[in-house]
């Protein structure tokens, strides 16, 4: 009779260091994503290495409102989670733990990581409709982390998870002084992060001031800034485009500081497939209707008020309450609601889109200065030369 082949398991340190490497890899990914999130909101010219396309774009994910949870970026929560995991890991490495202790607890933590990964993968698929390469790598790291922690429990401890947790609590209670000295600073740090973390993602334009000239061009386009400008910047924007919002507010701040040198002219170029012929698939749905609302507001002398509200609209809601919007701006809500179907207003929007197409504009934001078109951002030397 043929003998069954004996399975030789790898030694415990191999499994342990694999778990440690995966946890440090997840921590590194979260640190990178935290930096990426910060730079997306604060660095005008920033573009990450994985901003490859509409579907594969780390920046799109960072710019999503889903990248913030409980007032703190999700990437920062990732850093906190991996640090928590790594703080427990040394307790599972020594002989005192007998290769068993804290692994049930680490299994539950890694299971939570995997569940969160699934949730955010679904959000990327169905709500953001774009994927972050680094996020996907961290999700894979979480699943491998769960597998190897499970494997360690299978190899070295075969008790149930509840019994293992009960023993973990007893083990940690016996070394409670060490646990308190280690986890107290961590807990205090987490509390301070939640309370004091700056909301740098909530940027806004400077308040509209009577001291800054505003008007309408002969062609009917709203402008703000210098009456006799040294530089005229014409922007083509989309109200659901994050980069448009960031650049628009950046230019408004420059105009507020130098109202006698730069004039900003606003044009509409919604990347909404229902309005813009160059967009063949559903994208930025609703941005065309938002442009119609601002065109109506322009005729009532309320363009800049409407413009600032729409750039800051919560994209997670999916709809805009026309009555509330009208009250904020100071317009009749019935007229504002009906303006979406007004042929003259729609024609004005089509003129902006047609002129943008003539300029070969393929995306937003785009800028026209001195007869040249700049896609995405303005070369800093142009503005610097004017300000100098």
The whole-number mean pLDDT for each consecutive block of 10 residues of the chain, a chain of 388 residues, reads 60 92 97 96 87 90 94 97 95 76 93 97 93 96 96 84 89 90 95 96 86 94 96 96 93 93 97 96 94 97 96 79 94 95 97 97 95 90 85
Q: So what's the pLDDT on residue 154?
A: 86
Give pLDDT, residue 364: 95
pLDDT at 6: 59
Distance CA 46, CA 363 (A): 17
pLDDT of residue 51: 87
pLDDT at position 201: 93
d(CA 218, CA 117): 53
DSSP run (H or E) holding 119: helix 103-123
Please give the structure tokens belonging to residue 29.
Answer: 């990914």
**Confidence (pLDDT) at 369:** 95
Pairing relation of β-strands 366-369 and 372-375?
Answer: antiparallel
Domains and CATH numbers, the chain: 12-196 (1.20.1440.130), 214-387 (3.40.30.10)
343: Cβ–Cβ under 8 A, 6 or more apart, which residues? none
pLDDT at 3: 55
Dihedral of alpha carbons 87, 89, 94, 97, sign: positive
Residue 266, class by beta-carbon neighbours within 10 Å (0-12 exposed, 13-18 middle, 19+ buried)? buried
């Amino acid at each position: 009779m043929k003998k069954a082949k004996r399975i030789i398991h790898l030694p415990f340190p191999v499994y342990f260091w694999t778990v440690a490497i995966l946890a440090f890899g997840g921590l590194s990914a979260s640190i990178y994503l935290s930096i990426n999130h910060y730079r997306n909101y604060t660095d005008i010219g920033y573009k990450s290495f994985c901003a490859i396309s509409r579907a594969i774009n780390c920046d799109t994910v960072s710019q999503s409102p889903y990248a913030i949870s409980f007032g703190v970026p999700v990437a920062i929560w990732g850093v906190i989670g991996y640090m928590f995991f790594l703080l427990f890991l040394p307790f599972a490495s020594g002989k005192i733990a007998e290769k068993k202790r804290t692994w049930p607890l680490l299994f539950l933590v890694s299971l939570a990581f995997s569940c969160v990964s699934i949730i955010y993968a679904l959000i990327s698929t169905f709500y953001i409709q774009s994927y972050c390469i680094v996020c996907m790598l961290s999700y894979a790291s979480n699943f491998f982390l769960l597998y190897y922690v499970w494997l360690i429990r299978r190899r070295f401890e075969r008790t149930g998870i509840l019994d293992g947790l009960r023993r973990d609590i007893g083990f940690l209670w016996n070394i409670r002084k060490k646990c308190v000295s280690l986890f107290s600073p961590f807990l205090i740090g987490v509390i301070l992060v939640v309370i004091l973390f700056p909301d740098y993602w909530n940027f806004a334009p400077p308040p509209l001031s009577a001291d800054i000239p505003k008007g309408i061009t002969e062609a009917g386009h709203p402008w703000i800034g210098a009456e006799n400008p040294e530089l005229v910047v014409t922007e083509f924007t989309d109200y659901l485009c994050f980069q448009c919002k960031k650049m628009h507010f950046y230019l408004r701040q420059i105009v507020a500081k130098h109202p006698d040198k730069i004039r900003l002219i606003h044009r509409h170029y919604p990347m909404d497939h229902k309005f813009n012929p160059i967009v063949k698939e559903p994208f930025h749905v609703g941005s065309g209707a938002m442009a119609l609302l601002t065109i109506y507001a322009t005729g009532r002398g309320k363009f800049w008020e409407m413009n600032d509200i729409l750039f800051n609209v919560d994209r997670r809601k999916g709809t805009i309450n026309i009555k509330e919007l009208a009250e904020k701006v100071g317009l009749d809500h019935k007229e504002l609601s009906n303006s979406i179907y007004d042929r003259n207003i729609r024609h004005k929007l089509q003129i902006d889109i047609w002129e943008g197409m003539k300029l070969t504009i393929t995306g937003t934001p785009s800028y026209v200065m001195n007869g040249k078109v700049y896609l995405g951002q303005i070369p800093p030397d142009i503005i610097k030369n004017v300000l100098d």
